[in-house]
């Protein structure tokens, strides 16, 4: 690659970094809203840290994709959603499950492949579901959940129940063909679907600018006439604000909406990823300057004047929940061998 | 010199149609490209164009005539200056524009002992023969009074009124009945609604059920298969029609990774009550990309049920069962069978259980196991074998997964010999599976190795002669049956 191109790419990345909208003009959260967001995001953070530890101890096998750094996305969207709205996502899914209200114990026990896991130990990290909480997985084939989520929207419209399908994908999945097949049908049939593209800048080891001709994912629906916007996915307030708009659009029968959440994952793509495709400085800078949880914590301590003890109490409570889930997940028995032959057909 | 104008074929598999209307009358001058007549089938309508100029000397088949076999002379075109009154019917040189692709198979009323067998046969390559003649009317509805004599009818209650229906009509009726029964059932796919179905299987459904439940999709198999699966996860019961299962290759990830595996991966929480259906396997002269038989492929996947009916009655009863089934069902049809007629029981709610094979014909000397269009070879072979003194028992698997080994094993214990017939490829085919099962479950009963008759191990060729070679044929079945009987 020649120097000019290199420089161009460099400037591309710089622009991406700079493209995050300023956080100052987003509507403020109330004290309670910030406390809620803090607690929910912290639960995901601590849960994922624990999952990373258990993985390191050999208690979790296979693939394990952590959501650390991206917590504001799912929490902000959930704060804008209503009961009955469905959530479906790809394989980086633990955060979404917790955000939907699924039990941390059941999620962690699935990670360790135990009887008490959400899928009785038969799904693993990428395959958990809860009909009760309207969480439809948990899908391991990149992009497949986008067609499936569009089908959830189809069912909502068929039933006329007013529910909206919140269909998540990453910047990598956004290049899959079926995503555009789905966009086309969703707009054609005006399906109530909000497509949330979590752009964490790397599809495994490939940066967005190396894989995407159009790096502005909010424009990926332009040829279908689907509105889209870029959102600071590190600011839970901005996420909720945009998601409220998008969900209202979908619920009102106006069809799908695309939200590009500009976010960042601190950890590797999966546990086995040494993340050599980016610098340590880049990660450190994101953590220091944009951490979604730290932003809320600062507001709680500052503007909301929440006493530090109260925040520490939240921290302790979250830690206890996570420890309890880990204890359960490591003491619960493995599924009975007879489970091998169940749940193949109804 | 006068030329015959022949009944054209609208598609490679058309065997007969209706001469709907003449647009020219006898004595009219005709230029090349003039539209002479309109013909129609239950699938489509088409205009018959003149290829030569001349005078329409004689109309041989009147307006409104049904069941005109392809390649039947329908009129005589006299050259200019020739005396139209002097031309002889059928005496002309044949000169049809759409070169007759399919020779009309004469549809006879089924013989009493073969009521359930239909008259299906692969269209032969184009060749005008003296056998061309207008077809007889389909068999009139018959009441079965001695269905005990016909093992193929054993499932149908004694005294049931039967109607003759094509597989196409039976499939449509199955969908319509289930859609009336359950609001959650809907059908989606390419051309299923306004076009009335690429193969007219969904004919009339849009009119009865409306656009909400009969959904035309863009050409986007991967996407709409996923949409169907997603809708099924919520408890709706989609029937996803693929224009052919060859196109379902674009969607096979959703069929297998999403539809078949999610119940297991969710620990039993998330079922997927969906039917994927459409024509599968070879039609006639459509080449390698449109001729693949996927029976063995889908039957390899736990979490799927795979159904492949032969008769109209099984098509109807099994499709109804498939729609009601809480699991994903791959329902493999066949374009050539669509137009074939069989007796179908006139019952308010006739279903055929998935996973149950049928002894279609009883015999003591050799077991022939087949399914779908493979049954056409198996049954013809069985009749010819009977003339040679070999009584073949013909088993129609009907469901490929879960496979009814029990029925096959019971038969082999009686006959000691087994051959399998399918149009799919030999390696890892359905026949291979049957052979493996028999080796374990009937080893001590086998008097000869299990032989497989399959499609040849080559991509499907286009040329008529090569295609014929690539497919199984009756002679191969007979030869194999004789071989295992050491005859």
pLDDT reading at A215 higher than 50? yes
Q: How many angstroms separate the CA atoms of B59 and B291, rounded?
A: 38
Tens-digit pLDDT profile for residues A276-316 = 889 889 999 999 999 999 999 999 999 999 999 999 999 99
Contact B229 A188 (CB under 8 A): no
CATH classification at residue A126: 3.40.50.970
Per CB-CB distance under 8 Å, the chain B contacts of A159 are 236
How many Å from the N-terminal Cα to the C-terminal Cα in chain B? Answer: 54
Closest CA to B21 of B72, B59, B52, B58: B59
Say whether pLDDT at B131 is over 70. Answer: no
Q: Closest residue of B to A114, CA-based?
A: B267
Alpha-carbon gap, residue B302 to A16, rounded angstroms: 45
**Residue A29 belongs to some domain of the structure:** no
B218 and chain A: CB distance < 8 Å anywhere? yes
In a domain, A212, yes or no: yes
The C-alpha atoms of residue B460 and residue B466 are separated, in whole angstroms, by 8
The per-residue pLDDT for B51 is 82
Q: Which domain holds residue A165?
A: 3-14+49-329
Q: Note the pLDDT tens digit of each residue in A181-214.
A: 999 999 999 999 999 999 999 999 999 999 999 9
3-class state of residue B58 by DSSP: strand
B109 — pLDDT class (breaks 50, 70, 90): very low
Tokens of A214: 């159009």
Cα separation, B246 vs A200, whole angstroms: 37
Mean pLDDT, chain B, rounded, equals 88
What are the two backbone dihedrals, phi and then psi, of residue A267, each rounded to the nearest 5 degrees? -90, 175
pLDDT of B96 reads: 43
Question: DSSP assignment, residue B151?
Answer: G
A172 close to A211: Cβ distance less than 8 angstroms: yes
Looking at residue B159, what is its pLDDT?
85
B25 touches chain A (CB under 8 A): no
Helix (H, G, I), strand (E, B) or coil at B71: coil
Average pLDDT of the segment spanning A150-167? 98
Model confidence pLDDT, tens digit, residues B269-306: 999 999 999 999 999 899 999 999 999 999 999 999 99
Structurally, how many domains does chain A consist of? 1
For residue A249, which phi and psi values (nearest 5 degrees)? -60, -50
B266 vs A contacts (CB less than 8 Å): 118-119, 123, 127-129, 137, 343
Here the tokens at position A290 are 């944009």
From residue A254, alpha-carbon distances to A246, A250, A251 in Å are 10, 5, 7
Q: Decide if A255 is inside a domain.
A: yes
Distance, in Å, from the CA atom of A236 to the CA atom of B384, rounded to the nearest integer, reads: 77
Nearest CA in chain A to B263: A343
Residues of chain B with Cβ-Cβ distance to A137 below 8 Å are 262, 265-266, 270
DSSP A37-61: HHHHHHHHHHHHHHHHHHHHTTSS-
Q: B97 vs A41, B7, B49, B179, CA distance in Å?
A: 72, 9, 7, 41
How does pLDDT run across B374-430, given as a tens digit for each residue? 999 999 999 999 999 999 999 999 999 999 999 999 999 999 999 999 999 999 999
* Confidence (pLDDT) at A318: 98
Asked if residues B171 and B333 have their Cβ atoms less than 8 Å apart, the reply is: yes
Nearest CA to A233 out of A204, A203, A197 is that of A197
Select the more confidently predicted residue: B143 or B350.
Answer: B350
B346: Cβ contacts below 8 Å, ≥ 6 apart: B141, B160, B161, B162, B163
Record: contact A148-B258, CB cut-off 8 A: yes
What's the distance, CA B242 to chain centroid?
Answer: 15
Is residue B486 within 8 A of residue B448, CB to CB? The reply is yes
Q: Per the structure block, which two tokens stand in for B50?
A: 């003149």
Buried b / exposed e across B222-245, counting CB within 10 Å, b at 16+? Answer: bbbbbbbbbbbbbebbbbbbbbbb
| Interface mutation target, options A86, A153, A180, A181, chain B, most CBs of B under 10 Å | A181
Distance between CA atoms of residues B56 and B82, nearest Å:
11
User: Which residues have C-beta within 8 Å of that of residue A111, sequence separation ≥ 6?
Assistant: A51, A54, A60, A64, A94, A117, A124, A125, A329
Give the per-residue pLDDT at B144: 55
All residues of chain A having their beta carbon less than 8 Å from the beta carbon of residue B258 are: 139, 141, 144, 148
**How many angstroms separate the CA of residue B201 from the nearest CA in chain A?**
23
Nearest-CA distance B198 → chain A (Å): 20
Where is pLDDT greater, at B15 or B152?
A: B15
62-101 of A, contacting B, C-beta below 8 A: 86, 88
Helix (H, G, I), strand (E, B) or coil at B283: coil
In-domain check, residue A128: yes
Minimal CA separation from B370 to chain A, in Å: 25
Q: Does A135 touch chain B (CB under 8 A)?
A: no
Q: In this structure, are residues A237 and A21 in contact, taking their beta carbons and an 8 Å threshold?
A: no
Does B246 have pLDDT greater than 90?
yes
Contact B216, B194 (CB under 8 A): yes
Interface test with A, best of B227, B269, B304 (most A CBs within 10 A): B227
**Is A20 among the domain residues?**
no
Number of neighbouring beta carbons within 10 Å of residue B284: 22
- Nearest 5°: phi and psi at B305? -110, 145
Q: Does A95 map to a domain?
A: yes
Enzyme catalytic residues of B? 221, 290
Round to whole Å and give the CA distance between B59 and B62: 7
User: Buried b / exposed e across B109-130, counting CB within 10 Å, b at 16+?
Assistant: ebeeeebbbbbbbbbebbeeee
A122 domain residue, yes or no:
yes
Contact assessment for residue B235 and residue A154, using Cβ atoms and an 8 Å cutoff: no
- Is A131 close to B228, i.e. CB distance below 8 A? no
In this predicted model, what pLDDT tens digit does every residue of B25-44 receive, in sequence order? 998 988 888 889 988 887 77
Cβ contacts from A onto B, under 8 A: 142
Q: How far apart are CA B234 and CA A163, in angstroms?
A: 12
Chain B environment of A178 (Cβ under 8 Å): 222-223, 226
Q: What does the pLDDT read at residue B45?
A: 79
The residues with which B329 forms a beta bridge, in sequence order, are: B275, B305
Å between B369 CA and nearest CA of chain A: 26
Q: Is A340 part of any domain?
A: no
Q: Which two tokens stand for residue A20?
A: 């995050």
B265 at interface of A, judged by CB pairs closer than 8 A: yes
Contact A181, B222 (CB under 8 A): yes
Query: Given pLDDT bands bounded at 50, 70 and 90, which one contains residue B142?
Result: low
Arithmetic mean of pLDDT, A46-50: 97
Residue A178 in this model has a pLDDT that exceeds 50: yes
Q: Assess A149–B contact: CB distance below 8 Å, yes or no.
A: yes
3-state helix, strand, coil in chain A (%, to 5): 50, 10, 40
Q: Please state the rounded mean pLDDT for residues A246-267.
A: 97
Q: Is A190 on the interface with B (CB under 8 A)?
A: no
Residues of chain B with C-beta less than 8 angstroms from the C-beta of A181:
218, 220, 222-224
Q: What is the mean pLDDT of residues B317-346?
A: 97
Q: Which of A83, B310, A272 is nearest to B318 (CA)?
A: B310
């Amino acid at each position: 690659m020649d120097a000019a191109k290199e420089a161009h790419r460099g400037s591309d990345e710089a622009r991406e970094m700079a493209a995050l909208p300023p956080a100052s003009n987003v509507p403020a959260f109330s004290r309670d809203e910030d406390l809620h967001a803090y607690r929910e995001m912290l639960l995901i953070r601590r849960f994922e840290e624990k999952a990373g530890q258990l993985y390191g101890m050999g208690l979790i096998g296979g693939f394990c994709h952590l959501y650390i750094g991206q917590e504001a996305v799912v929490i902000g969207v959930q704060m804008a959603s209503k009961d009955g709205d469905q959530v479906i996502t790809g394989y980086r899914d633990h955060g979404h499950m917790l955000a939907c209200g699924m039990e941390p114990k059941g999620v962690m026990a699935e990670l360790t492949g135990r009887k008490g896991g959400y899928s009785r130990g038969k799904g693993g990290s990428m395959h958990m579901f809860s009909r009760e909480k309207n969480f439809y997985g948990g899908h391991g084939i990149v992009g497949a959940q986008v067609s499936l989520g569009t089908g959830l929207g189809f069912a909502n419209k068929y039933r006329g129940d007013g529910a909206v399908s919140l269909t998540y994908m990453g910047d990598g999945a956004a290049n899959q063909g079926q995503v555009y097949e789905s966009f086309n049908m969703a707009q054609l049939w005006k399906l109530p679907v909000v497509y949330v593209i979590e752009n964490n800048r790397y599809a495994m080891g490939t940066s967005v600018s190396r894989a995407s001709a159009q790096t502005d994912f909010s424009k990926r629906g332009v040829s279908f006439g689907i509105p889209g916007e870029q959102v600071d996915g590190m600011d839970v307030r901005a996420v909720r604000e945009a998601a409220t708009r998008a969900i209202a659009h979908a619920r009102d029968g106006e069809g799908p909406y695309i939200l590009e959440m500009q976010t960042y994952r601190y950890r590797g793509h999966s546990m086995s990823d040494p993340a050599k495709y980016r610098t340590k400085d880049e990660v450190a800078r994101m953590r220091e300057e944009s951490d979604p949880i730290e932003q809320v914590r600062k507001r709680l301590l500052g503007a909301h004047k929440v006493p530090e003890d109260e925040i520490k109490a939240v921290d302790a409570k979250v830690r206890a929940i996570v420890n309890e889930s880990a204890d359960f997940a490591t003491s619960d028995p493995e599924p009975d061998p007879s489970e091998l032959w169940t749940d193949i057909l109804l | 010199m006068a030329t015959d104008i022949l009944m054209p074929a609208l598609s490679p598999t058309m065997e007969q149609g209706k001469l709907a209307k003449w647009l020219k009358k006898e004595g009219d001058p005709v230029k090349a490209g003039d539209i002479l007549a309109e013909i129609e089938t239950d699938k489509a309508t088409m205009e018959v164009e003149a290829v030569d100029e001349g005078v329409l000397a004689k109309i041989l088949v009147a307006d409104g005539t049904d069941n005109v076999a392809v390649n039947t002379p329908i009129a005589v075109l006299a050259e200019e200056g020739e005396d139209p009154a002097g031309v002889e019917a059928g005496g002309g040189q044949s000169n049809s524009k759409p070169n007759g692709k399919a020779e009309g198979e004469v549809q006879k009323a089924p013989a009493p002992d073969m009521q359930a067998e239909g008259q299906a046969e692969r269209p032969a390559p184009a060749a005008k023969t003296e056998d061309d003649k207008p077809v007889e009317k389909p068999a009139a509805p018959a009441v079965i009074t001695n269905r005990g004599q016909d093992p193929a009818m054993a499932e149908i209650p004694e005294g049931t009124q039967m109607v003759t229906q094509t597989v196409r009509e039976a499939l449509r009726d199955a969908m319509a009945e289930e859609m009336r029964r359950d609001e959650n059932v809907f059908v989606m796919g390419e051309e299923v609604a306004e076009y009335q179905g690429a193969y007219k299987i969904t004919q009339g459904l849009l009119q009865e059920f409306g656009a909400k439940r009969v959904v035309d999709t863009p050409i986007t198999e991967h996407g709409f298969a996923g949409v169907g699966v997603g809708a099924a996860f919520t408890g709706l019961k989609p029937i996803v029609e693929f224009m052919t299962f060859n196109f379902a290759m674009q969607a096979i990830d959703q069929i297998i990774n999403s539809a078949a595996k999610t119940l297991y991966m969710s620990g039993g929480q998330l079922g997927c009550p969906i039917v994927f259906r459409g024509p599968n396997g070879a039609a006639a002269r459509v080449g390698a990309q449109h001729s693949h038989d996927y029976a063995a492929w889908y039957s390899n996947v736990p979490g799927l049920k795979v159904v492949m009916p032969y008769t109209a009655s099984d098509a109807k009863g099994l499709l109804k069962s498939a729609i009601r089934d809480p699991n994903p069902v791959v329902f493999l049809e066949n374009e050539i069978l669509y137009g074939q007629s069989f007796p179908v029981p006139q019952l308010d709610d006739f279903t055929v259980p998935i996973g149950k094979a049928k002894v279609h014909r009883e015999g003591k000397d050799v077991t022939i196991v087949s399914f779908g269009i493979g049954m056409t070879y198996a049954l013809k072979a069985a009749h010819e074998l009977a003339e040679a003194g070999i009584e073949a028992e013909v088993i129609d698997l009907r469901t490929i997964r879960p496979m009814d080994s029990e029925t096959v094993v019971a038969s082999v214990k009686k006959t000691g010999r087994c051959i399998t017939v399918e149009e799919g490829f030999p390696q890892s085919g359905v026949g291979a599976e049957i052979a493996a099962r028999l080796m374990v479950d009937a080893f001590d009963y086998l008097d000869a190795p299990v032989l497989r008759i399959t499609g040849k191990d080559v991509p499907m060729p286009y040329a008529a002669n090569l295609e014929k070679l690539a497919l199984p044929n009756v002679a191969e079945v007979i030869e194999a049956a004789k071989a295992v009987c050491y005859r």
